[in-house]
Amino acid sequence: MLAFNQSGKRLMTRMISSHRAKRTCLAIVLAAGEGTRMCSSRPKVLHAIGGKTLIAHVLSAAIEAGGAELAIVVGPDRADVAAEARRLAPQAQIFEQRERLGTAHAVLAARKAIEAAADDILVMFADTPLVRRETLARLRTALSEGAAVAVLGFTPKDPAGYGRLVMNGDDLAAIVEEKDATPQQRAIGFVNGGLMALSGNNALAILDQIGNANAKGEYYLTDAVAIARQMGLKAVAIETGEDDVRGINTKAQLAETEAVLQGRLRAQAMEAGVTLIAPETVFLSSDTKLGRDVVIEPNVVFGPGVTVEDGATIRSFSHLEGAHVGKGARVGPFARLRPGAKLGTDVHIGNFVEVKASTIEDGAKANHLAYIGDARIGEGANIGAGTITCNYDGVDKHRTDIGKGAFIGTNSSLVAPVKIGDGAYIGSGSVVTKDVPADALMFERAELVTKQGWAARFRAAKAARKKNT
Ligand code: UD1
Ligand code: MG
């Protein structure tokens, strides 16, 4: 046990943080946006950055920030958004906002969840995917320190379109939406990032007082600040960077946000010991897992679901998705690993090799120009250039099983289902339609025909005919 007089401060800090950790939290994610400016048949929040939908990013941040209770507000007839929300967070309650009457109206669509009175309520926007859990934690800390309302403030290059934060010393006095602002208020550069934390004790009392007497005729969530102040409660603004509150309305903003996310993911990878030779050319997914001393050469793309173990090298122009790369393996240049590719230790997959739903066991090699689908390649086996597993008969997929230490000669077609035994040898250019026993040689050869002098005679005859015409 710590002696209070010596380490009192540390103990106090611990007591406060464990007390904070016990505070319950409801995260309300507003996903009822229209998203018309995306010019897409897909709802805005189902667009992806870093291989993950916008709403998925926001839900992960909410959960990481301690949002044990989740409420998601979707627009009418948005079964697709609700389905994605349910897939990502089966525990979440889903509410429908029938009419789009403003951000406070959207929050109140989740009234039932708010009535359960969590200590902290976080209101998040599903189109603002880069908010970090540390930033959400700072909002929650403000509540635990006595604020009834906490918002994120930032200073953009151009404040146009944002709600302005009217400060009174350290306290936040009000948020004024641009359309309702006086010229002096418009001159304020410190603006509202949109997300808000409300203390659960006061949330409904505040939200129920919000009206719609403003320029847009909407129920503004931002009015919560002035109302809290009138109730004698405290409101604060927590300053953050623009990236945390970057909202997406257009495809161009989607791309800008992707760029910011890629920057974060690359930095995290390098901090964890990955070598990125040209980081700006490597595209990662939010769930990409790269071990220590992994080297990624320029121009590599990681789709979702990739793990690369320590010491592996991914060479230029490779595309990986849903794949596992074992320790010390070498992939590429110009390799494609598709979902279900599992590479063991020290495997080599070279240029123009595609691997799908296949396990390549330790030390096996396919160095050039091959398709390996629905297969097992045994330990140390060698797959020659031009080898194809013919896994599809037009209707069904079939498996190819290649034993340990087998040697598949170049340009062989392995017509699945087929089994090549351990240590077997397939002669070049064979079409293998039958299982091959261990240590056997199988080859398919038509007789070679050699006609001495034939080419010279052929050319001479052609030349003579040309001369006569
Ligand atoms: C909001 C803030 C503004 C802030 C800005 C930051 C309000 C009133 N204003 O303005 O102070 O500077 O964000 O980007 O909150 N939504 C619904 N239902 C509705 C209305 C909105 O679900 O009826 C959702 C939207 O899908 C979006 C979020 O709430 O995810 C914010 O709405 P939006 O219309 O983008 O608010 P802004 O005008 O950007
Ligand atoms: Mg907006």
CA 234 to ligand 1 centroid distance, Å: 23
Whole-model pTM? 0.91
* Distance from residue 309's CA to the centre of ligand 2 (Å): 40
- Helical segments of 231-284, H only: 251-271
Asked if residue 88 and residue 123 are part of one domain, the reply reads yes
CATH of the domain at 149: 3.90.550.10
**Whether 409 and 329 share a structural domain:** yes
Domain boundary among 245, 265, 299: 245
Specify whether 289 is located in the same domain as 235. no
Q: Same structural domain for residues 263 and 186?
A: no
Ligand 1 touching residue 191 (CB < 6 A):
yes
Same domain, yes or no: 335 and 394: yes
Residue 71 lies in a domain: yes
What gap in Å lies between CA 68 and CA 77, rounded to an integer? Answer: 27
For residue 305, being part of any structural domain is answered with yes
State whether the Cα torsion 261-267-270-276 is positive or negative: positive
54 CB less than 6 Å from ligand 1? no
Q: Indicate whether 447 belongs to any domain.
A: no
Residues 218 and 292 in one domain: no
Q: Is ligand 1 within 6 A of the CB of residue 32?
A: yes
353 strand-pairing partners: 370
Do residues 219 and 345 both lie within one domain?
Answer: no
Strands 330-331 and 313-314: what pairing? Answer: parallel
Per-residue model confidence as pLDDT tens for the chain (469 residues): 233 334 444 444 444 455 455 899 999 999 998 788 999 999 999 999 999 999 999 999 999 999 999 999 999 988 999 999 999 999 999 999 999 999 999 999 999 999 998 999 999 999 999 999 999 999 999 999 999 999 999 999 999 999 999 999 999 999 999 999 999 999 999 999 999 999 999 999 999 999 999 999 999 999 999 999 999 999 999 999 999 999 999 999 999 999 999 999 999 999 999 999 999 999 999 999 999 999 999 999 999 999 999 999 999 999 999 999 999 999 999 999 999 999 999 999 999 999 999 999 999 999 999 999 999 999 999 999 999 999 999 999 999 999 999 999 999 999 999 999 999 999 999 999 999 999 999 999 999 999 999 999 999 999 999 998 8
Q: 259 and 230, same structural domain? A: no
Residues 224 and 323 in one domain: no
Q: Which helix (H) or strand (E) holds 205?
A: helix 203-207
Among protein residues, the one whose CA lies closest to atom 22 of ligand 1: 32
Which residue among 245, 273, 308 closes a domain? 245
Active site residues: 368
Do residues 66 and 110 share a domain? yes
One domain, residues 207 and 283: no
pLDDT of residue 17: 52
The continuous run of DSSP H or E covering 418 comes out as: strand 418-420
- Residue located nearest, by CA, to atom 30 of ligand 1: 125
Residues 134 and 168 in one domain: yes
Domain that holds residue 89: 6-245
- Kindly state if the Cβ of 102 falls inside 6 Å of ligand 1: yes
How far away, in angstroms, is 127 Cα from ligand 2 center?
8
Query: Residue 250: inside a domain, yes or no?
Result: no
pLDDT at 12: 47
- Write b or e for each residue in 440-457: b if 16 or more Cβ atoms lie within 10 A of its Cβ, otherwise e: eebeeeeeeeeeeeeeee
How many domains does the structure of the chain reveal?
Answer: 2
Say whether 256 sits in a helix, a strand or coil.
helix
